[in-house]
Amino acid sequence: MNDRPIIIHSLEDAKAALAVAAELGVPVTLRSAPGAGRYLGASVFRDMVDEAAGSAPPVTVTTIFDCGDDPGLALGALRLGLKVIRTSITGDAKDRIAEIAAQTDARIDEDISMPVLDLLPLEDKEAALRSWLSQGK
């Protein structure tokens, strides 16, 4: 199956994505919005996904948290146990964060070219999710 990441903005988005993934029997990748570390926080994102997963049928979930260009947010996300983060940090700081991530079996998501479904502007999220996740089967 091809990865079909979904940008979620709320608990309702997360619940909808997990419900459709379970219905289709596919794993799902939930991403935060770009730069979400600045306004949402890693713990809120983690708790939102955990709550959604607790009320959905079992499905394999990968989460990706976007920390923007803030090394502190990236390190905080890793401390909270998030396993995949995105960051626009470059140079030595990014290399050091990648080393720290590897020590905790985490990683920096580097695939910026992968298509993604952003749920924010969509009116019929369930139909869009069904179509999006079905393409990867």
Question: Which pLDDT score, from 0 to 100, does residue 93 have?
Answer: 95
Q: Does 1 have pLDDT greater than 70? A: no
Residue 28 sits at φ, ψ, to 5 deg, of -140, 145
pTM: 0.92
Q: At what angle do helices 11-24 and 125-135 cross, to 10 degrees?
A: 50
Could you count the other beta carbons within 10 Å of the beta carbon of residue 19?
17
Q: Does 126 have pLDDT greater than 50? A: yes
Q: What is the torsional sign of CA 50, 44, 136, 86?
A: negative
Q: Which residue has the tokens 């260009």?
A: 69
Question: Which pLDDT score, from 0 to 100, does residue 56 have?
Answer: 80
What SS3 string covers 56-99? Answer: CCCCCEEEEEECCCCHHHHHHHHHCCCCEEECCCCHHHHHHHHH
Q: How far apart are CA 81 and CA 91, in angstroms?
A: 24
Question: Which pLDDT score, from 0 to 100, does residue 137 have?
Answer: 67
pLDDT band at 115 (very low <50, low <70, confident <90, very high): very high
Contacts of 108-115 with CB under 8 Å at 24 or more apart are: 108/84, 109/64, 109/84, 109/85, 114/3, 114/5, 115/4
CATH number of 6-135, picked from 3.30.750.80, 3.20.20.70, 3.40.120.10, 3.50.50.60: 3.20.20.70
Q: Which residues pair with 63 in a beta bridge?
A: 30
Question: Which pLDDT score, from 0 to 100, does residue 2 have?
Answer: 61
pLDDT digits (tens, 9 = 90+) for 13-68: 999 999 999 999 999 999 999 999 999 999 999 999 999 999 888 999 999 999 99
* Domain range list for the chain: 6-135
Question: Which pLDDT score, from 0 to 100, does residue 17 have?
Answer: 97
pLDDT digits (tens, 9 = 90+) for 63-114: 999 999 999 999 999 999 999 999 999 999 999 999 999 999 999 998 878 8
